[in-house]
């Protein structure tokens, strides 16, 4: 059975382009996004890692570390970073995990059990389940998971949007509606009575008995 939201993110030790890390220690007291890709030197993955590098400062503003992972060795990751810079204009300064023995991919259920125990001879198609995203909170719990098919590059702006929602709703008893963006109205959760809602949020609009909207609370 795969990992679910609010499961503890499995800890691991791995080699990266920035040395050996222990995942939970590397996260520290902040947030983290671990995102995997099928294989180095492939077209969609090249655009993805460049896009993530372009958003790096936005993640940093939110106290979120980013780390990539594939089954390729560190040497491959290091060489590939030059191509990513040429193709996208963004330098990959975040670490990339080298999961040659597939340990992390299997620990996070990103590959089937029959995938073998080595990255040797694997093609992108062999790794097609490895285009996943895990958002991990300071409590080391999984807050969000996403998996994309081989032919569809991820929307990292959406991952930022989701993190904005997750962090906001962790601080206040609110939820965010469909297509919500930072600064827009939020939903008051059912756990908050109308009386408490007035005390907490001031005014609010009752759309339906179970759907109340108010201005986004300040941090």
Sign of the CA dihedral with 32 first, then 38, 39, and 44 last: negative
Q: Answer for the pair 71, 104: CB distance below 8 angstroms, yes or no.
A: no
Please give the Cα distance from 24 to 141 (Å, whole number): 10
- CA 155 to chain CA mean position, Å: 11
- Judged on CB neighbours under 10 Å (0-12, 13-18, 19+), 45 is buried
Picking from 121, 142, 120, the residue whose alpha carbon sits closest to that of residue 132 is 142
- State how far the Cα of 182 lies from the Cα of 176, in Å rounded to an integer: 10
Cβ neighbours around 216 below 10 Å, total:
18
Q: Among the options 27, 32, 33, 45, which is catalytic?
A: 45
For residue 134, indicate whether it is catalytic.
no
Catalytic residues: 45
């Amino acid at each position: 059975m795969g990992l679910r939201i609010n499961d503890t993110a499995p800890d691991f030790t791995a080699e990266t382009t920035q040395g050996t890390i222990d995942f939970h220690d590397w996260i520290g007291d902040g947030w983290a996004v671990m995102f995997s890709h099928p294989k180095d030197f492939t077209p969609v993955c090249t655009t993805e890692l460049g896009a993530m590098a372009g958003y790096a400062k936005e993640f940093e503003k939110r106290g979120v570390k980013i780390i990539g992972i594939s089954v390729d060795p560190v040497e491959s990751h290091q060489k590939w970073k030059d191509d990513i810079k040429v193709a996208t204009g963004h330098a990959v300064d975040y670490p990339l995990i080298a999961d040659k023995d597939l340990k992390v991919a299997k620990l996070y259920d990103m590959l089937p059990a029959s995938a073998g125990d080595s990255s040797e001879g694997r093609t992108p198609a062999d790794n097609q389940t490895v285009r996943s995203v895990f958002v991990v909170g300071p409590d080391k719990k999984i807050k969000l998971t996403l998996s994309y098919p081989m032919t569809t590059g991820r929307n990292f702006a959406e991952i930022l949007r989701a993190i904005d929602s997750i962090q906001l709703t962790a601080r206040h008893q609110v939820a965010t509606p469909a297509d919500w963006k930072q600064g827009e109205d939020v939903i008051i959760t059912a756990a908050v009575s109308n009386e408490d809602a007035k005390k907490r949020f001031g005014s609010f609009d009752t759309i339906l008995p179970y759907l109340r909207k108010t201005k986004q609370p300040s941090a």
